[in-house]
Structure 1
Amino acid sequence: MSDFIRGGSFLTETLAPEQVFTPEDFTEEQRTIAQTTADFIAGNVTPHLEQIEKLDYGLTRTLLREAGEIGLLGADIPEAYDGVALDKISSTLITENMARGGSFGLSHGAHVGIGTLPIVFFGNEEQKQRYLPALGSGEKIAAYCLTEPGSGSDALGAKTKALLSEDGRHYRLNGTKQYITNAGFADVFVIYAKVDGDKFTAFIVDRDTPGLSIGPEEKKMGIKGSSTCPVILEDASVPVENVLGEIGKGHQIAFNILNIGRYKLGAGCIGSAKWAIHLSTKYANARAQFNTPIARFPLIQEKIADMAIELYGAESVIYRTAGLIEKALEVKEPLQATAEYAAECSICKILASEMLDQVADEGVQIHGGYGYTQEYEIERMYRDARINRIFEGTNEINRLLIPDTLLKRAMKGEIPLLAAAQRLQSELFTLGVHMDDGVPLSVEADLVERSKKTLIFVAGLAVQKYQKALAQEQEILRNMADLVINVFAMESALLRAKKKLAQSNQEQASLSIDLARAFVNRRFGAIEQIAKQSLAAMEEGDTLRAQLSILKKLTRHLPVNEKALKRKIAQPFLEAEKYAL
């Protein structure tokens, strides 16, 4: 990879394939770590999935301890505190492969991510020495307490209070935290409360703290094997030395940790989707109707192809983002590196969680009636997938964060959106249909550039029309976010396939090329529809007609033969009975 790339710069810059990290770039060491994780899940966790689903705390803790023994809990913990200190690609691969363990993967993710990372990044030396070795080994398990009964998306609206005792040695915490993963068996809680009722602050709170109690398990739709309980604080006495970070700066911890949690959640969705494709292709080959394996039916092949196409796009985004963060760590502190890509992390969360929902849904459909029974694993995966669009910030909240983050960067001059909008005015007169010149992916490269222009066109009109009032136009902001998501995903898939082609030959890269073509063409159609909807929401009459005329120029293209492309894409996945990349 080349030099450091600014967050959001994909909106106005055209990157070369070698500037992005892709799954084809994994080192042997990274592949070994991924395989070690996969082997651990297959050998240690999978045989006990049914028992885990019954909320066996002891078993989950035992398995987490076993994971810690082989370094799967300490990937993001520095070596000075007995961690493994792996690169971010390796850490992401662990998260992806843990997802095969269903609810156990969630217990693991909450512990190593949002539970442990606040101490890694914000703890003082004494706190790190006291907690991190035990968290890295699995001797202690962590949980993260932000959500409350009255504040979910509005995290800073939390009501939990912290008052300093008269002797100045303790804070007394009062309030209730809700939907806390790992709460039933966690030893260490990162809890947010408002000091003196207004200074949002993070605390490290031990389970045996007087005044802390755990409520009953929530009865959930899915992820039944993960513990989800309220944490109740009634004059919980927390030593002043357990303040995490600075008084009144808890929002910095909360939001930075959520950035990491979002792209890691996306990685988990990738792992689950790969397993769903394995289950679905295996079933399609084995299941016969009308004396024919259903895998031979074009509509089943279409479903397999659609699953693979969406997964390819999301996987490209996840590892591009992981690569960006890894590269940024060469020039920035860890928190600065993740904050740089806050918009990209939100994209990871939205794109991958919605991809997994689609993949799991199609997996159930391929299984037919059997997919609706608990005898088949795809049923559990379908229920488990739904939560991903809710936690780590709902997809709706993340959609509002994306344009807000990018527009603020543009106002600071960090993203030259204004200059791009001015260039677009002159470029509109020369736009025509890009004819297929026989160069692989040249048409798709043109579609990506047109998508960027369409985004800049629509966003520019929205900013001009609403100005400061744009914050109240949530439907327009949502549409802007969807344009951004599609652009980043299309470009990620395109650059990945181009890189594969550059590293091999056209025959070896043919599947990647087909997946990228299908993904880019599908998302380009979505770009056009979102843009039309946005323009119609902002203007009417002759003004709208003029804008739609411009949009027609921007989105003029020849459609791809999806039927033939999908039939071709499905075959290698059905033959391998897995995500064959």
Structure 2
Amino acid sequence: MSQQSINKVRGGSFVIEDGDFHSVVTPEDFTEEQRMIADMTKQFVQGEIAPHDEELENLDYDLTVKLLREAGELGLLGADVPEKYGGMGLDKVSTTLINEKLTKASSFALSFGAHVGIGTLPIVYFGTEEQKQKYLPGLASGEKIAAYCLTEPSSGSDAQGAKATAQLSEDGTHYILNGTKQFITNAGFADVFIVYAKVDGTQFSTFIVERSMEGVSIGPEEKKMGIKASSTCPLILEDVKVPVENLLWEVGKGHLIAFNILNIGRFKLAAGCVGASKDAIELSAQYANERTQFGVKISSFPLIGKKLADMNIRTYVLESMVYRTAGLFDTGVAEADPGATDVGYHSAKAIAEYQLECSINKVFGSETLDFVADEGVQIHGGYGYTKEYRVERIYRDSRINRIFEGTNEINRLLIPGTLMKRALKGELPLLPKAMALQAEMMERVSPPEGDGVLEQEAHLLKMAKKIFLLVGAGAVQTYQAKLEQEQEILGNLADIMISIFGMESALLRTQKKISQSSEEKAKLAILMTTAYINEEFGRIEGWAREVLTAMASGDMLRTQLSVLKKWAKRSPLNLIAIKREIAAQVIQAENYVS
């Protein structure tokens, strides 16, 4: 496939267009350099972080900062920072790998992630040349630690409802900031804060605030359920004089910075969920092989095997989604005009093309990790509920991910909402595709004639996209401008879209594996893709039926349900046998397998 055709992949287009496995980026495509970066990160965690695990959990500020600076010496803090400013300027697949591998460092990874991601990237993407020269070298080395300050005591998901204010001084040399920011990661030891406040109480804007500025103070540490190795405190601003040079981008454009940075934060969170899920699978498989009950290893019990198989399948799908998205980022960033005066902004804009996919990754990633962690505790039994076993911490630490970076409920509203907005702007031919579908509703559906590898799964993916268009177009027609008030409908549409992206990501990855090796070598991937698509398709059918039943009644409903039944027809599958085969490989490897 040509680079030109690859570049035509638009955010959200996966629901109406067929993907091509030649263009998708998968873990099997990692370069030698990318694998070396992953290994370096893994060795750093094992050699420098793991020995201090208990101290970090007790929130040793000095140790955390010391280790962050060591990460800076290795170049890990500057992975996303251009070389011009002391960073490594790595591609997005490489930085995603770093995020994934750092999760074995438990919630130290959160201190790291808040610094390199939402703390540093606003300056990388939206800073002036002077701001980049002043702050980025120190942030890349770890000399300075960053924090991101958006949430307030009275505003979480409604970021623009913030009450923090910024008033320009009479002589025009500085802004006077007042307000309180809540739940700020790294606040206990950060030097640089990215702060959102309203100029004149109305214009949402962004400022670079330094800890040393008079009027800046830090509140007490929150007593959290999990992520205990990370600092989480309020930031209090009392008549803080911030030089006008520290305004980030322009007055009134803070919401654009916030939304763009949240896109990246959501994606990086999903990458972390990949690593943590793999960690939980490894711990659980090892424990299942060590623990005996009734005179045999519990790994020999089919229900334990089923849990390990399901954990592995969902992690395979998540991993496929995350690296597919990272590949889309790299393609988009590569297209940013290198001659533009603001390359950082153009890079952020290229990533924003996939804001819908970022939300999908965040929701699916956080819910996959919660599922895997929960099943991991269950496999450990009573021991999984004790601090002696690491899976207990994974379970506690995982819960925040469904709240971080916009709750999963908010992201579920954003997913179809963003798609509809893009369609109305003419950026995606969603409505023409939906209208063309009307002609197909009465046509006979021809299921796959043969039993070729993944043939039925490719057919089910195609039908899933038709089902989405059926219910999505029906929702737009039924509710029109009031659709945004029908949150249950939007939630179901989001779940269908999430499932389609997951199904297609796994399918494309597995098809690529087959093309690069053989069906035999890709057998495990084929089994996992088969199981996931067939099970998920059943969920899609259920969500669609629920939406249709909410929107129509009588003959109209009967007609729509008849179409749904026709498109949802599929051959039965022996999932028990498939999952037993997957489980056997996880148990033998005592690790995540793909």
Normalised by the shorter chain, which TM-score bucket?
A: over 0.9
For structure 1, list consecutive stretches of 5 or more residues without a partner in the other structure.
none
Deviates more, 1:355-364 or 1:425-434: 425-434
Deviations 1:535-572 (A, max 9, x none): 11112223222211111111111231110010001111
The alpha carbon displacement at 1:330 in A equals 2.0
> What is the distance in 1 between the residues matched to 2:432 and 2:253?
35
**Does 2:509 match 1:496?**
yes
> What is the distance in 2 between the residues matched to 1:531 and 1:50?
48
Match of 1:345 in 2: 358
> What is the distance in 1 between the residues matched to 2:154 and 2:10?
36
> What is the aligned counterpart of 1:424 among 427, 434, 437?
437
> What is the distance in 2 between the residues matched to 1:326 and 1:439?
33
- Conserved? CA contact 1:428–1:554, under 8 Å: no
- Conserved? CA contact 1:188–1:206, under 8 Å: yes
202 and 277 in structure 1: CA distance in 2 versus 1, 3 angstrom threshold: same
* Matched AA of 1:54: N
**Does 2:408 match 1:395?**
yes
Q: How does 1:257-276 map to 2 (within 5 A)?
A: 257-276=261-280
1:19 counterpart SS class: coil
Q: How does 1:188-199 map to 2 (within 5 A)?
A: 188-199=192-203
State the Cα RMSD in Å.
1.0
Deviations 1:27-54 (A, max 9, x none): 1111111111111111111111111110
> What TM-score, normalized by structure 1, do the two folds share?
0.99
- Conserved? CA contact 1:433–1:557, under 8 Å: no
> What is the distance in 2 between the residues matched to 1:423 and 1:167?
62
**Does 2:541 match 1:537?**
no
Match of 1:414 in 2: 427
* Matched AA of 1:205: V
Q: How does 1:418-497 map to 2 (within 5 A)?
A: 418-432=431-445, 434-435=447-448, 437-497=450-510
- Conserved? CA contact 1:428–1:553, under 8 Å: no
Deviations 1:213-261 (A, max 9, x none): 0000001111011000000011111111111110111111100000011
2:334 counterpart SS class: coil
Match of 1:283 in 2: 287
* Matched AA of 2:365: A
- Conserved? CA contact 2:178–2:238, under 8 Å: yes
**Does 2:103 match 1:90?**
no
> What is the distance in 2 between the residues matched to 1:474 and 1:210?
45
> What is the distance in 1 between the residues matched to 2:131 and 2:385?
48
* Matched AA of 2:385: Y
**Does 2:370 match 1:370?**
no
Deviations 1:1-29 (A, max 9, x none): 74211111111111221121111111111
* Matched AA of 1:176: T
Q: How does 1:12-411 map to 2 (within 5 A)?
A: 12-332=16-336, 333-411=346-424
- Conserved? CA contact 1:147–1:177, under 8 Å: yes
1:330 counterpart SS class: helix
> What TM-score, normalized by structure 2, do the two folds share?
0.97
The alpha carbon displacement at 1:423 in A equals 2.5
* Matched AA of 1:198: T
Count how many residue pairs are aligned between Structure 1 and Structure 2.
581
2:223 counterpart SS class: coil
Task: State, as a whole percentage, how many aligned pairs show the same letter.
Answer: 61
> What is the distance in 1 between the residues matched to 2:549 and 2:389?
45
Match of 2:581 in 1: 568
> What is the aligned counterpart of 1:512 among 516, 525, 540?
525
Deviates more, 1:424-433 or 1:81-90: 424-433
1:171 counterpart SS class: strand
> What is the distance in 2 between the residues matched to 1:166 and 1:430?
71
* Matched AA of 2:479: Y
> What is the distance in 2 between the residues matched to 1:255 and 1:168?
28
Deviates more, 1:215-224 or 1:407-416: 407-416
1:329 counterpart SS class: helix
Deviates more, 1:536-545 or 1:260-269: 536-545
Deviations 1:418-443 (A, max 9, x none): 22112222223334362461321010
> What is the distance in 1 between the residues matched to 2:46 and 2:421?
45
Deviations 1:191-220 (A, max 9, x none): 000011111110000001101100000011
* Matched AA of 1:88: K
> What is the distance in 2 between the residues matched to 1:419 and 1:431?
21
For structure 2, list consecutive stretches of 5 or more residues without a partner in the other structure.
337-345
> What is the distance in 2 between the residues matched to 1:246 and 1:492?
38
Deviations 1:281-328 (A, max 9, x none): 000011111111111110000000000011111111111110001011
1:40 counterpart SS class: helix
The alpha carbon displacement at 1:167 in A equals 2.1
The alpha carbon displacement at 1:177 in A equals 0.2
> What is the distance in 1 between the residues matched to 2:51 and 2:573?
45
Deviates more, 1:565-574 or 1:362-371: 565-574
1:235 counterpart SS class: strand
Match of 1:578 in 2: 591
- Conserved? CA contact 1:433–1:556, under 8 Å: no
272 and 294 in structure 1: CA distance in 2 versus 1, 3 angstrom threshold: same
* Matched AA of 1:408: K
- Conserved? CA contact 2:173–2:244, under 8 Å: yes
- Conserved? CA contact 2:281–2:311, under 8 Å: yes
Deviates more, 1:476-485 or 1:537-546: 537-546
1:430 counterpart SS class: coil
* Matched AA of 2:523: S
1:180 counterpart SS class: strand
